[in-house]
Structure 1
Amino acid sequence: MVVSDGKTTPSWPSDEELDFVRKKVAHLSQKNARQVNVVACPYRICPLGAHIDHQGGVVTAMTINCGVLLGFVPSENGEILLQSGQFEGELKFNSKDPQKPIENPEDINWKSYAHGAVYALQTGGYDLQKGIIGFISGVVGLDSSGLSSSAAVGIAYLLALEYANNIIIPPLDNIFLDKLIENNYLGLENGILDPSAILLSRYGYLTFMDCKTKQPFHSRFAEQNKSLQLNGEFGFKILLAFSGIRHNLPKKRGYNTRVAECKAAAHTLLLAEGYENSEALLCNVDPSTYEAHKGKLEENLAKRAEHYFSETKRVAKGREAWACGNLEDFGQLISESGRSSIDKYECGSKEMIQLYEILLKAPGVYGARFSGAGFRGCCLAIVAVNCADKAAEFVRTEYEKAQPELVSHIPHDKRVLVCEPGGSARIIFPEI
């Protein structure tokens, strides 16, 4: 559990956002707004380390200055009563009710994550005598953003329930509680990148997570080049360009299929080297083994393995570029990661690829890639501070020309967001 008595992340959440959520909870619970706590769970981006977390690779992440806000007050009788700012309806159940995993992924909706958080804590052996009455609000849709919005929601519920029940859980343990939500309750084969970023990020640092050892480490931006920090800001902004795609693509092209292909490639390579008893993850394959036996892989498996090992090299190079404040090199690595995701990992819809290519042409952009798997959601870009607004307008205009119907439901000023780095998830208490 992370707590805060103030706003430690620049510009988010604003006083207006906090007041809005607190008033909603006050009305719902019949409590005073000054009694309402707010969990702030930022969204994350993954500049490098795409699609290798589930294989035990080293990934990078940073949070941004927007995300999920969950206002809540504890309920003494275990009641959980929730409303959403983005979805209709109301959720009501008791924290003591046994929770069973979802059998059909099509049944997942905004209410599932609260059930999942209770399931994870129950599975972890925690006694939930108290519930929460709350209102949850986010910037983008729960399942279509590519910004880890599902992990942010799951963690928000975990932190609120833990606080209400006076349970102290370290961030690393909460990472694996969130995995229980995603893997065991929802049936998604997600790795630990998203919850690690949300719970462990530090403002001004790039978080590196070794998904094999489960150990995080951080690298400060421009540690040897303070001149790139302008008036207390970093020399870059983050663009998030939304595709407008909201529907699920066929399962055969989805996330779980790619995970299975990576494991199949690892199994073939390990077997060729005589390590048939090793867990079939690409992190357990030595690069020399890969080079010696990659010719034995079927075409699809060869592409997945090539992406893994080339992406691992990009992460290592990216750490050096980030620490030196070398945005040109760092951005180039991001773009190469994007291209490998398309060509070797073979993810991304044609619309998302189109959006990625538009971002690469925008003024001041150092690099771009998908945020998420690339079948829907958004693309991210790192852009020079003095070009951010111009680049955002360029992308809005060009993508609207290419996909007018897809963006028609998104307000013009929401189609591309200009963001800054953020901090970690925390609970914000009202000022007395």
Structure 2
Amino acid sequence: MAICSFNILFLALQLDIVRKKVVEISGRDECDVRVAACPYRICPLGAHIDHQGGIVMAMTINYGVLLGFVPSNDSEVLLQSGQFEGVIRFRVDDLQKPIDNPENINWESYARGAVYALQNSGYDLRKGVIGYISGVKGLDSSGLSSSAAVGIAYLLALENVNDLVISSVDNIQLDKSIENKYLGLENGILDPSAILLSRYGCLTFMDCKTASPSYVYFSELSKSQQLQGQLPFKILLALSGLQHNLPKKCGYNTRVFECKEAARALLHASGCEEASNILRNGT
């Protein structure tokens, strides 16, 4: 199971590592290993616009997160990571509660958050997963939405082993539940929408007020050229070297609050006090 095309060399090397790790952890055959692939994304327009109901633009890139997994024999979840130390162990029939202290957020939180989101949406989870998750070294917490990629990967794995058929649109809301309700980050739908709805060779436009996507294709090149990786532009990712774990930082939520306060003042001035306090409602 996969969402997009990855860099071929990266994918081949990482898939081999991920599958072998799952075999090592689980004792299962390599042919039994399933893989969820979730890309990172860039957004030419998006910061602090999605949670205000705005129109954002996004593209996925050909690097991302791979989660190799097999169904566990019971409700246990057992996970290891290529980027973080330790082993996660918990059960999908344990009731997950939102994190009340951001300092307690770690890489385990996203797996528990996926269980929380599914539990609170009424889905029946009976089976856990045994798995190994790996991203690209140095790109976690780098602004490419690695957290959303991780959250969606866990959702897809849990849905797969529990025979749940859930649409991309519903998975966007489930990932939003991980971030908003479980982790306490008040972001919008840009990141999961980009990961789940983007199409190869085009720019995704997402109206965050109506949650409806549209696409702009790069028509300057033929479809066959685009499939060969030839696009009429190049993307430069300039990494500052600073990494930010947004749920642990108060700055992002502070800016969301400031946007809502600005919306409240503008709506009041325009006589629309009854509308929800998001900036898009003032236009």
TM-score range, shorter chain: over 0.9
**Is residue 117 from structure 1 mapped to residue 114 from structure 2 by the alignment?**
yes
Q: What's the counterpart of residue 226 of structure 1?
A: 221
For normalisation by structure 1, the TM-score amounts to 0.62
> Cα 1:13–1:116, aligned 2, differ >3 Å: closer, same or farther?
same
Determine which structure has greater relative contact order: mean sequence separation of CA pairs < 8 Å that are 6+ residues apart, divided by chain length.
1
The letter for the 2-side match of 1:244 is G
Matches within 5 A, 1:360-399: none
RMSD of the TM alignment (CA)?
Answer: 2.2
Distance in 2 of aligned mates of 1:32 and 1:227: 41
Alignment partners' CA distance in 2, 1:77 and 1:251: 36
Specify the SS of the correspondent of 2:107.
Answer: coil
Which of 41, 44, 53 is residue 44 of structure 1 equivalent to? 41
Q: Which amino acid aligns with 1:147?
A: L
Higher helix share: 1
Matched residue, 2:194: 197
The whole-number CA distance in structure 2 between the counterparts of 1:282 and 1:139 is 35
Q: Which amino acid aligns with 1:114?
A: A
2:89 partner SS: strand
* Residue matched to 2:270: 273
**Cα offset, 1:76, TM superposition:** 2.6
Q: In the TM superposition, what is the alpha-carbon distance from 1:144 to its structure 2 partner?
A: 2.2
Q: Deviations over 1:46-79 (max 9, x none)?
A: 0123320010000010100001000000113111
The change in CA–CA distance for 1:23 and 1:232 in structure 2 (over 3 A counts) is closer
Partner in structure 1 of residue 27 of structure 2: 30
Structure 1 residues 352-376: Cα deviation after superposition (integer angstroms, max 9, x where no partner): xxxxxxxxxxxxxxxxxxxxxxxxx
1:42–1:63 CA contact under 8 A, matched in 2? yes
Pick closer, same or farther for the CA change 1:247–1:219 going to 2, 3 Å: closer
TM-score, normalization: structure 2? 0.93
Task: Find out whether 1:148 has 2:145 as its counterpart.
Answer: yes
Superposition pairs of residues 6-21 of structure 1, within 5 angstroms? 8-9=5-6, 11=8, 14-21=11-18
Percent identity over the alignment is 65
What is the distance in 1 between the residues matched to 2:14 and 2:139?
18
Paired residues, what number? 280
Deviation per CA, 1:306-357: give whole Å up to 9, x if none.
Answer: xxxxxxxxxxxxxxxxxxxxxxxxxxxxxxxxxxxxxxxxxxxxxxxxxxxx
Q: 1:184 aligns with which of 181, 184, 189?
A: 181
CA distance in 2, matches of 1:94, 1:145: 30
> Cα–Cα, structure 1 residues 113 and 247, in superposed 2: closer, same or farther, change >3 Å?
closer
Instruction: Note closer, same or farther for the CA distance 1:139–1:167 as it changes in structure 2 (3 Å cut).
Output: same
Report SS of the residue matched to 1:238. coil
Matched, 1:173 2:170: yes
Deviations 1:223-281 (A, max 9, x none): 2x3389686501222222222223669956x1111111111111111111111101111
Which of 80-89 and 231-240 deviates more? 231-240
Partner of 1:86: 83
Structure 1 residues 387-430: Cα deviation after superposition (integer angstroms, max 9, x where no partner): xxxxxxxxxxxxxxxxxxxxxxxxxxxxxxxxxxxxxxxxxxxx
* Matches of 2:222 and 2:28, distance apart in 1: 49
CA positional deviation for 1:14: 2.3
Matched, 1:162 2:159: yes
Distance verdict in 2 for CA 1:116–1:150, change over 3 Å: same
AA in 2 matched with 1:245: L
Query: How do residues 396-411 of structure 1 correspond to structure 2 at under 5 angstroms?
Result: none
1:107 maps to 104
Question: 1:258 — aligned with what?
Answer: 255
Q: Is the partner of 1:14 in helix, strand or coil? A: helix
**Letter paired with 2:174:** L
Shift of 1:9: 4.6
How far did residue 38 of structure 1 move? 0.7
Question: Which secondary structure does the structure 2 equivalent of 1:82 belong to?
Answer: strand
- Separation of aligned partners in 1, 2:199 and 2:240: 29
Aligned-residue offset at 1:129: 0.4
Distance 1:55 1:29, change over 3 A: same
From the superposition, tell whether residues 265 and 155 of structure 1 become closer, same or farther in structure 2 (CA, over 3 Å).
same
Is 1:142–1:150's contact at 8 Å kept on the other side of the alignment?
no
> Where does structure 2 lack aligned partners over 5 or more consecutive residues?
none
Asked if the contact 2:40–2:144 (Cα under 8 Å) also holds between the matched residues in 1, the reply is: yes
